[in-house]
Chain A
């Protein structure tokens, strides 16, 4: 009963909006099978690579730094790709397309945050031999609650 009530409460805003969202001329486009197949193939390949990589990962160092087996430049390129690809190719390009220069400002904003984090945090992380900010905070404080908070936050 309690669960039903919570479900109803969770749905309530959606239902209230649904009335407004579907007003006016609504046209149904034909299903884009190319896009769906591309998406599924992409997800399958990503999962495959992840599985293959997970088989070779034995330690935290393996996971974050490829066991120390790759150089700084390689690792930098990997992090840059990780950090920039999603934003640049999906979000930023759409923002520039719709808003022009105003959209470009977003890409400058988050690129600027990066060196600041490095100036102020990188050395401390390295000195502690930790890889993520959550690692550092749980080293200083109680690990359990901090891990929970980090998982909920990210």
Chain B
């Protein structure tokens, strides 16, 4: 076994297999587990997926949302046990891999075009992936 395969095998069982299809530009709900002392609760962070980077266990996602005109970006390892679930709320049309330009956008130009045109395609793709 090559060294890269060994590294991948070390945390193969930590990689989530039940992830929905997450594309850049999608509006997603991230269900974060928050542990406060003994208690544990779920907090939902809704925002636009603006970046996915890394691969395997190191894959990170960045989700951006705007609250009261203040942008908030959170970054997690996609395989983190602190995230219990991802939900895709809306698909959007993104033409680049990283949507960092959204940081400079103000007002209505923040919105991304909905991917209605190809929605049939996407559903087919998702069905195919599952």
The answer to whether A and B come from one shared complex is no
B residues apposed to A, CB below 8 Å = none
